[in-house]
């Protein structure tokens, strides 16, 4: 059964820093991996989707990579801003099966 682990559980950085959030998964046959953002008390916003044939995806200041052989994904946030403060969740799945979620990394960017 797929298990997804996220490290660190919480992270606090000063504004302007570049940072990396880590995600590992146990099932190397994963087909796709998604990164989400969740603000307190809110739903999930999809940030990036990496399909199994891809190695990375970029959107603005965000870059996500996927290494299936090592069972790892990273989310890189460049030039962090206070508005980036949120919980970041990674989730993986095989094909059209439902996503399995990690416990998230709670990010605080201090002005």
Which residues of the chain form contacts with other proteins (CB under 8 A)? Answer: 31-32, 34, 36, 41-44, 46, 49, 51, 89, 91, 93, 95-96, 98-104
> Is the CB of 14 or the CB of 43 nearer to other proteins?
43
> Is the CB of 85 or the CB of 111 nearer to other proteins?
85
Q: How far is the CB of 93 from other proteins (least distance, A)?
A: 7
Q: How far apart are CA 95 and CA 53, in angstroms?
A: 12
Q: How far is the CB of 77 from other proteins (least distance, A)?
A: 20
Q: How far is the CB of 92 from other proteins (least distance, A)?
A: 10
Question: CB-based contacts of 108: which residues, under 8 Å, 6+ apart?
Answer: 10, 11, 12, 13, 85
| Per-residue burial over 20-52, b = 16 or more CB atoms within 10 Å of its CB, e = otherwise | ebebbbebeebebbbbbbeeeeeeeeebbebee
> Is the CB of 46 or the CB of 81 nearer to other proteins?
46
> Is the CB of 31 or the CB of 76 nearer to other proteins?
31
Measure the CA angle with vertex 94, ends 91 and 96; round to 5°. 95
């Amino acid at each position: 059964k797929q298990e997804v682990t996220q490290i660190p559980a919480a992270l606090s950085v000063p504004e302007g820093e570049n940072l990396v959030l880590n995600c590992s998964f146990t099932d190397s046959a994963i087909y796709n991996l998604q990164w989400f953002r969740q603000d307190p008390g809110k739903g999930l916003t999809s940030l990036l989707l990496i399909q199994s044939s891809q190695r990375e995806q970029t959107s603005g200041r965000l870059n996500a990579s996927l290494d299936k052989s090592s069972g790892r994904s990273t989310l890189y946030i460049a030039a962090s801003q206070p508005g980036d403060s949120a919980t970041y969740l990674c989730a993986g799945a095989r094909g059209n099966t439902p996503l399995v979620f990690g416990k998230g990394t709670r990010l605080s960017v201090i002005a």
